[in-house]
Homo-oligomer: A and B are copies of this chain.
Amino acid sequence: MERKQQGKQSVRFACPPVICGAASIVGEKEGDGPFGDQFDFIEMDPLVGGDTWEDAEGRLQEKAAEMAITKAGCGKDAIRYVVAGDLLGQLMASSFGLMSLQKPLFGVYGACSTMGESMGIGAMLVEGGYADYVLAMTSSHFASAEKQFRFPLGYANQRPKAATWTVTGSGAVIIGTPGASHAMARIKGITTGKIVDYGVKDTMNMGACMAPAAADAIAAHFTDFGSRPEEYDRIITGDLGMVGEDILIDILREKGYEIADRYMDCGIEIYGKDQNTQAGGSGCGCSAVMLAGYILKQLEAGEWKRVLFVPTGALLSVVSFNEGNSIPGIAHAVLLESLVED
């Protein structure tokens, strides 16, 4: 067996798989934001034609999956595995939303880091020869997340400044072998994260829970690849928000890495300042739709050559929180490269 391991936590792909299809479906609020014209489809019905919030989120996944497959042009039959997850208990959105695909399914959970996890596993399965095409995806929905993690919408509770707004949306990518048509970018490597717990217990301040995990994964990536921040056009986290951004930049600065001039957070970018979302967007869907709707297009156009995409998750459950536990974080980094030659 050929060893493809890079450093302690990373893989450098010798035959990098490509992303050859991507779809982003968002809700009305995300459509009203600064990236509204970048997303593939803006769903104006919060229930997506369904009966419940969970059903609605599943329908977002189903639509995003079908659109990504169509855009890849590979045909549904060519998809070997689906690697998908969401924030809901027992992955309700994925379990019900993706049933109709009738494909071998690996359900995954990494809180809002799930897109990084599904892409990491998907890329290894493709490069390893276990699949020609893998569908990697995730979703979140503002109403299903508020219902599960915080307060039912009808309570109309006030939101503190550090709170984030769960993105309604689903992002899906098709990962294919290097020769696949419609290739948008290549997955050059991955750095899989560990759980990092700084003891933060505030569910209204998820950025502070996740930033140490993001710093850990990004620093591990630099160490494993022997690289420096200057070698990346963008270093993009999932949903740290305003509070988490500062913490991340500070921690990495202490470790000797200056990323502020090339740093971007999907959660900060996805909503406008006038959209009343406090610290920014969050949820599995946040980084997934920004990847499919915006980041991949920049790579495809050659605007960016090298991007470290780092979805970030807070391993929060209502039960663990009510039992007084802290909220540990996890983050998974995916190294994306443009296929456009200089």
* A interface with B by C-beta (< 8 Å): 1-5, 9, 11, 15, 51-52, 54-55, 80-81, 85, 87-92, 95-96, 98-99, 102-111, 117, 120-121, 124-132, 148, 177-178, 192-195, 197, 315-320, 323, 325, 328, 330
Contact = CB atoms under 8 A, between A and B. Distances in A.
A82 to B, nearest CB: 9
Contacts of A325: 96
Nearest to A216: B102
A195 B130 contact: no
Contacts of A108: 106-109
A56 to B, nearest CB: 11
B124 A117 contact: no
A4 B128 contact: yes
The copy count of this chain in the complex is 2
Nearest to A3: B129
Nearest to A91: B109
Contact of A130 (B4, B15, B316, B319): B4
A202 B321 CA distance: 30
B320 A96 contact: yes
A107 B104 contact: no
A331 to B, nearest CB: 11
Contacts of A193: 104-105
Contacts of A129: 1-5, 128
Nearest to A15: B1
A34 to B, nearest CB: 30
Nearest to A86: B109
Contacts of A130: 4-5, 11, 124, 128
Given A89-B89, A124-B128, A197-B99, A105 B330 contact: yes
B90 A315 contact: yes
B177 A81 contact: no
A25 B312 CA distance: 32
A178 to B, nearest CB: 8
Contacts of A111: 90
9 contacts: A87-B90, A89-B90, A90-B315, A92-B317, A95-B315, A95-B320, A104-B194, A121-B121, A128-B128
Contact of A317 (B90, B99, B317): B90
